[in-house]
Each structure stands twice: as structure tokens, then as C-alpha cells.
Structure 1
Amino acid sequence: MSLSLLSLRWRLIWSLILLQVVVGSLVLGGFIGLAWMLGRVVDESGQETVAVIQRALAHDASGRLVVAPTADFQRLQKGDPSFWFIARDAAGAEVRHGDVPPRYATLVRTLDGIARTAIEPEKDNTQPKARFERVETAAGPVNVLAQTGSPLSLKNTLKGTGLVFLWLVAPMALLTSLGVILATPFVVKRGLQGVVATAEHAEGIDVHERTTRLPLANVASEIRPLVNAVNRAFDRLNEGYDRQERFLADAAHELRTPITTLQIHLEGLPNDPLKVKLMQASARLATLAEQLLDLQRLDHVVPQEEPVDLKSLCERVAADIAPLAIQNRCTLSVDAPQQLMVHGDAPSLERALTNLIQNAIEHGGQGCDIEVRLCAPSCIEVLDSGPGIPEADRERVVAPFHRLVPRGRGAGLGLHLVAEVARLHRGQLTIGSSESGGAKMRLELNLGA
């Protein structure tokens, strides 16, 4: 798994573990380097020194015990010019190197028969420490008494360092890493409580509540610049929305007067096909202006929680729009067997139902059957026998200015306005298919009330 796909918790865990390994290695390397510079990386026990002597001891052609000049022995001589030792074989032959203290000259014979021992004669270090060991060499068994404290080779230094790391640093690093793995999730969760709360608040922001901003309470100082930047972006978006709304409202208001004047002049023209087309075009302009005003009003309206009789509302709207249906040779019927009461804003609901019926007349085609159906507990359905709306387009048709037919007569705002009215009444607009294969618009109100 790449680091970019890890959660923040695992990023911190791996970062802390890597930091521990790096710091531990640097500290260990620093101690070794300091000890090396001060000459303290030495063979305190004398074990390495005796091993070098063991590999160098041999008998010459005459049977005398001699020391071969091996590379390790030469390194030992060069590293510690004062280094000394005594070696004595089973026949009593001895070989010496360096300035052997008189006291140790006879001690090598006294210790004969002992496998190995460390010698520390004086606590005040007036006599050097030494190591006695009986070893097997090319010259047979030999007793070796050597001075301790000679410098270690680089190979043995690294070997000893590795053992120290393996037995001391590694277990501590492992336990610490385990503690980090177990503790980091709780630490991260506690440290990011403010961020989580801010994210939850952001999830609940409604696009229509443009004054809402992300809270700064309990947000870490490192995250505050991001939260402030997001809030400033909200402010800029809000300003843009306000300018857009003012433009739409002003444009709609300015269009109403010339459209009304145009319609008056058109009514005075002789009846012919051109007049019909011009009247339809002016009606479309008038509808567009009214829908723009409705859209602007809906963004600021607070629905009046007053009782609304949906049965009476459906019958009244159907009666008002019946002439338009007749003009398009459509049949319009209302199926409202009983009274249904809801709480809401009657003018907004009337505009929503009017848009639904006009949409059915527009897209159902000439001669289609349109039915307004009232369903319990608080639902209005408008069904038509037209071609219907493809399933792939059902979510997009509620977007503003979206039209199924690019050159159709509608402006693409009707269903969007209906969806906005549904939202104001804690409801929703769903689009489906009618029994005849046409479109079915279902306006549900007061959901969850």
C-alpha cells in the first residue's frame, strides 16, 4: 500500500516508528564515533586479543613456540605498541611479546590447569588488567596470559555494535513501536476531534443556507488556516449568488413591461398563422419572466405553516389551466376522492402544481390525457399519456434551464421550481412512468413531519 493511500493515523504511526529508528541509530552511531575518537572502543575483556594470539601461535621447524606475523597480529601491534602477552605450551616452552610485568611472568605457570580467568589485581589500576586462557592452537594446547584493553578491529566493532543493537536497542524500539501503534489511534482521534466535528458540520451544510460557516471551536491551529480559507470561499460564493439573483430579478422585472406591450400590439394584428406563432413566442417570454421571478422569490420565502386543502387546490388549479389544455386538445381530469390537509404555503403549492400541469401539456403532446391524482397522506401526482421521460434524464430535468428538447417551447425552469417548492415543504419531487407509459410527476409534501 502506498503512503498516499494511508490514513492520517498510519502516516503518523510509520513516521514515528521511522523517527525512532533513525534517532536510535544516530544516537548509537554517535556513541560509537565518540568512543572511537576517544580510544575507548577497546577489548575490555581481552577475548579478542587472546583469539588473535591463538591464531598466530605455531611451532617452527625446530619445535620452538613462535608467533607468526599474521595480519590481525600486526594490526594489534600497530594499534597498541605497549601490548604484551606470554604464551606457554605443554612442554614448558614460552614466547613473550612486549614489556611483560614481572608479577605476570610467573603467574602464567601458577595458573596452569585453569581454563580461563580475568585478572584485576588493583582497584586503583596501578597494575594492568589481564586475561588468562588455555587455548587450542596449531602448536597444541597453550596457556596465554595477555593484557586487556587493546583496540578492537573495525569488523569486531561493527559486530559488537550489532549485538548491542540487537539485544538492547532493538527490543526497546520494538516495545516503543508497539506502544506507538496502540496509542497513536487514540492520540490522533483526540487531537482531530475538532477536525472531525468541522467535517460533520460541513456535511450538514445546505446549499440554500448560504450564511452557514464552518466553526473554529476546538480546531487545531494548523487546521485553522484551511477552515478560514473555506469560510472565505463561502463568502465569495455567497456574493456571487447574490449578484446572480439580483441580475435575474432585475432582468425579469425589466422584461415584464416590454412583453406586456408586445402582447397588446400582437392582439391587434389580424388573425393568421404568423400571429399565432408570435403570440406563442410572447407567451413563452412572459412565462420565462414569471418563472425567473418565482425562482428569485422562492430563495427568500419562508413557507407559511397554514392549513392547505389539497383537494380544493387541485380542483382550482385544474380549472384555471383548463383553457390551455383545451387549446392543445388535451383532456384534463382530477382524481381527488377525499379532502387532504397539509401545512404549507398555498401560493407556492399552486405555482408548483401549475408548472407540473403545464409541463405535461408541453411534453405530452397534442391530444394527450392528463390526470391530477391526490394520494394520501400528502401527495399530488400528475400523469400524462405522452412519450414519457427517459430514465437517464429523470434526475437532470429538474436542473435549471435543462430541456429534453433543445428547441422546445419551455424555458427549462418549471420542474426546477417544483423541486424548490417541494424542498421548502420538507418534501421531494420524483419522476417515474405512468400506467400508459407517459410521465408521472409525484410531489410529496411534509415528509418526516
Structure 2
Amino acid sequence: MMSLLSLRWRLIWSLILLQVVVGSLVLGGFIGLVWVLGRMVDETGQETIGVIQRALARDAQGKLVMAPTSEFQRLQKADPPFWFIARDDKGGEIREGEVPPRYVALLSALNGMERMGIEPSSDNTQPKARFERVQSSAGPVNVMVQTGGPLTVKNTLKGTGMVFLFLVAPMALLTSLGVILATPFVVKRGLKGVVATAEHAESIDVHERTTRLPLDNVASEIRPLVNAVNRAFDRLNEGYDRQERFLADAAHELRTPITTLQIHLEGLPNGPLKVKLMQASARLATLAEQLLDLQRLDHIASHDQQVDLKALCERAAADIAPLAIMNRCTLSVDAPHALAVHGDAPSLERALANLIQNAIEHGGQGCDIQVRLCEPSCIEVLDSGPGIPEADRERVVAPFHRLVPRGRGAGLGLHLVAEVARLHGGQLTIGSSESGGAKMRLELNLDA
């Protein structure tokens, strides 16, 4: 179905309308020019014969006379003046204008004929004429007239309409069909650069902020728009850089006072208040570290080093084991054999540590946590906790989103894991474990 906003169809209809308007103007100009030059005339004399036929009459004495009809009066006022001669069967005759003697004699010779067009000699010394025997209110009359009299407005429009119908209209129709068929290809070719620019824009995301829209093959009318978009990208890139610098600086600046705060808190006497303050300071420390982790992701040295996922899983589980024991959780690693991937070992280890910490945090006291290594390059972390509702599985990956508003987490852990997966050509998917808890699946090198 044709789109009302389609540039192609707008151009097609605009060109067709332009053709109609221009064709109408040309036709009107042609008619006006011919009218001014006096070329809209009765070349055959047929209309002039008809005007005389309708004006022929007889007076009270039975003589041929011309009734003063408007048509006949218009012929009388024509410039140059015309002539005619009419003669009935009784010899009655009426003339108008200067009839050449040659045609007066010829009228008698043509008696008994129905009609005839009379062409002059090649030297054009005699005007063209038309002879016709007509039936009028005065009876049958032989009429000879000079051709070239002015046409009536009605017949002028009728003749022009016939010319338009048989000459102009077919050409306009063929041209319109050509425009309809050719315009889509012309427009497609003309907008080729715009389409390529749009496709290039689809590949731009927040992680490739240096990419700009190309100006190759872009029409000059579209260049200001492309330049404006590129300048907007520059401003956005500058804003992102300021935001990243602020987060990195804030995280670095927070580490020292948080450490100082924790030292002072440890010197407080044991009690419920100390436990709450220690939990709050631990949350601040986790938030600062995760902000730094996100900043480090943009400065990973290389993804080409070989990483042994079996050793990585065992190392991460060993580091988090004290936290699991503190929460009375069981933590096991199912990695029967080594699996190697290309990547950055420190960032992968931090991502796995975040998944295990997330399982401890949301699995609850006494849950079972399993780290499973799957081929070809996948790590799964399963717990026996309540799991993550399906409606929340996409939102928990967003930064600072927490299932438990007052939980100990900072809301950056899963977002950090998803970013590490993306940088390693993989993805983080969230599902349900066999026991009904959460299953975090970290897939790597999917595009390898």
C-alpha cells in the first residue's frame, strides 16, 4: 500500500501534477497566441456555410434576405471582411462583400452539385472558397463562401479539445507512465547515500562512540542534517567522557574514606549498631569497587590471551568461599576438564565473582550454589534460592537495579557481568535452575 509519507510517491505525484500544469499552460498559451494572431479560422468554410444557412430568409415580397442573427453579424464584423453569394433556383440572389467575378461565374457552373471545396491556383492569387447546396428556411439555396472566416468560441474550444484529446493527452499519459516507472529508480539512486548513512547509523552504539556518519554520496541538501547529527554525537561523546571521568574519580576518592571508616567501625564495641554500620560500609566499598571495575572494562589491555576457565572457576570459588561459609551456603565447582578461551582473565574473574556473590546475596541463608563449566565456552552459576521472576530478568541487568531495594548489593554486579560478556563476544542470560533457583549463564566467544 502506498505510504502517504513516501518520498518516492510524493515525487511521482508532484512530477505528474507539474506535467499537467505545464501542459495546461502550454495549451492555453497556444490557444491564446493563435487567437491573437487570428489563426483560429474556419479553414474549410463549413461553419461559415452553416451560419449563412441559418440566417437565410425571405422578405414579404419573397426575395432572399439575411436575417440579422448574432452569428451573421459576427461574420460581417470580421477582419479581414469576408464575402459570400447565395442564389436560389428562381435566380434570386444575395451577396455580401466583394465577390470575385470568377466565383460568380463558377456558381452557375456548379448548379446541381451538392458541395465542393475550391482551391485557388498555386500562386494564391485567388482566395479559397466553398460551394454547397443547403436547405434553409428560404428553401434550397446554392451558397458559395470565402473560407477562413473566424470560428465561434464553442467550435474553437471543441477543436482545441479534440487536438488535446488526440495529440496532447496520449503524450501526457505516456510521459506520466514513464515518470511513475522511472521515478522509483531515480529516487532510489538519488537516496543511495542517505540509505547507506542510515544503515551506518544502525551500527552506532554507546560503546562505539567514535563512529560518525559518513558523508560519501550524500546529497548536498542532506549534508547539513548529517553534519548536525555528527556534531550531536560529538557532544554526547563529550558528555559520556565527563560522566566516566566523574565516576572513576569518585570511586577512587571514595576508597580512602571508606577504608578509614571501616577501620574506625572495627574499633567500636560489638552490638546491633556496629553490625548495621559495617554492612553499610561494606556496601559502599562494593559500590566503589564495581564502579572502578566498570571503568577498567574500557581499558582492557587485550582479549587475545588464553584463559583457562577451569582454573578461573576454582580460583574465584576459593576467594568467595569465606563469604559463602559466613552465610552458611555450600559452594561447589563442577569443572571436569580444562576449557580455554580468548579473553581478559582479570575481568572474567571479577565477573564470575559477582555472579557468585549475587547467588549468596539473593539465594538466602543455607542455599546451595554450584559453579558449572560447560562446553564450548560457558560458565553457569546455579543456586537453590527463590530465583528471579521472569518479568524482572531483563531489568536486573540494568545498572543500579536491585530486586531487594534495601539489599546489601549496589545494583551494579549483573550489569558488570553483562558488560564483560559483551566485551568477550558473548552474553549473559538469566534462567531457572533445576532446583527452582536462579541460573546465570555466562557465554563467551559466541562470535568466534
Q: TM-score of the superposition, structure 2-length normalised? A: 0.92
| Counterpart-to-counterpart distance in 2, 1:60 and 1:338 | 131
CA contact (8 A) 1:365 1:386 kept: yes
| Deviation of the 1:201 alpha carbon | 1.9
Q: Deviations over 1:389-430 (max 9, x none)?
A: 233332222222223333333222111111111111111111
Counterpart residue number, 1:5? 5
Counterpart residue number, 2:238? 239
CA contact (8 A) 1:303 1:425 kept: no
CA contact (8 A) 1:388 1:438 kept: yes
| Deviation of the 1:58 alpha carbon | 4.5
Alpha-carbon distance change, 51 to 336 in structure 1, aligned in 2, over 3 angstroms? farther
- Of stretches 150-159 and 140-149 in structure 1, the one that deviates more from structure 2 is 140-149
| Counterpart-to-counterpart distance in 2, 1:383 and 1:91 | 127
Counterpart residue number, 1:286? 285
- Of stretches 168-177 and 182-191 in structure 1, the one that deviates more from structure 2 is 182-191
| Counterpart-to-counterpart distance in 2, 1:102 and 1:314 | 126
Q: Deviations over 1:174-207 (max 9, x none)?
A: 1222222222233223323322222222222243
Counterpart residue number, 1:208? 207
CA contact (8 A) 2:300 2:344 kept: no
CA contact (8 A) 1:371 1:384 kept: yes
| Deviation of the 1:240 alpha carbon | 0.7
| Counterpart-to-counterpart distance in 2, 1:61 and 1:2 | 74
| Deviation of the 1:110 alpha carbon | 2.4
Residue 352 of structure 2 corresponds to residue 353 of structure 1? yes
Q: SS of the residue aligned with 2:328?
A: coil
| Counterpart-to-counterpart distance in 2, 1:252 and 1:51 | 105
Residue 437 of structure 2 corresponds to residue 431 of structure 1? no
Report 1:102-121 matches (<5 A): 102-121=101-120
| Deviation of the 1:66 alpha carbon | 4.0
| Counterpart-to-counterpart distance in 2, 1:41 and 1:339 | 101
Counterpart residue number, 1:370? 369
CA contact (8 A) 2:2 2:9 kept: no
What amino acid does structure 2 have at the position aligned with 1:286? A
Q: SS of the residue aligned with 2:85?
A: strand
| Counterpart-to-counterpart distance in 1, 2:312 and 2:336 | 13
Report 1:86-235 matches (<5 A): 86-89=85-88, 92-235=91-234
Q: SS of the residue aligned with 1:342?
A: strand
| Deviation of the 1:261 alpha carbon | 0.5
Q: SS of the residue aligned with 2:220?
A: coil
Give the CA RMSD over aligned residues: 2.4
What amino acid does structure 1 have at the position aligned with 2:5? L
Q: Deviations over 1:359-405 (max 9, x none)?
A: 22222333333222211111111222333323333222222222333
| Deviation of the 1:332 alpha carbon | 2.2
Report 1:266-345 matches (<5 A): 266-345=265-344
Alpha-carbon distance change, 34 to 281 in structure 1, aligned in 2, over 3 angstroms? same
Counterpart residue number, 1:45? 44
| Counterpart-to-counterpart distance in 2, 1:141 and 1:405 | 114
Q: SS of the residue aligned with 1:83?
A: coil
Q: Deviations over 1:348-369 (max 9, x none)?
A: 1011111112222222333333
Alpha-carbon distance change, 259 to 84 in structure 1, aligned in 2, over 3 angstroms? same
Alpha-carbon distance change, 403 to 120 in structure 1, aligned in 2, over 3 angstroms? farther
| Counterpart-to-counterpart distance in 2, 1:237 and 1:346 | 31
What amino acid does structure 1 have at the position aligned with 2:371? V
Alpha-carbon distance change, 45 to 412 in structure 1, aligned in 2, over 3 angstroms? farther
What amino acid does structure 2 have at the position aligned with 1:5? L
Q: SS of the residue aligned with 1:5?
A: coil
Alpha-carbon distance change, 266 to 159 in structure 1, aligned in 2, over 3 angstroms? same
CA contact (8 A) 1:303 1:424 kept: no
| Counterpart-to-counterpart distance in 1, 2:309 and 2:85 | 117
Q: Which runs of 5+ in 2 are unaligned?
A: none
Counterpart residue number, 1:416? 415
Counterpart residue number, 1:69? 68
What amino acid does structure 2 have at the position aligned with 1:226? L
Q: SS of the residue aligned with 1:143?
A: strand
Counterpart residue number, 1:17? 16
| Counterpart-to-counterpart distance in 2, 1:47 and 1:262 | 117
Q: Which runs of 5+ in 1 are unaligned?
A: none
Counterpart residue number, 1:444? 443
Q: Percent identity?
A: 85
Q: Deviations over 1:5-64 (max 9, x none)?
A: 22x322222222222221111111111122222322222232322232333334566655
| Deviation of the 1:285 alpha carbon | 0.6
Alpha-carbon distance change, 148 to 404 in structure 1, aligned in 2, over 3 angstroms? farther
Counterpart residue number, 1:29? 28
- Of stretches 367-376 and 416-425 in structure 1, the one that deviates more from structure 2 is 367-376
When the two structures are aligned, how many residues end up with a matched partner? 448
CA contact (8 A) 2:303 2:424 kept: no
Q: TM-score of the superposition, structure 1-length normalised? A: 0.92
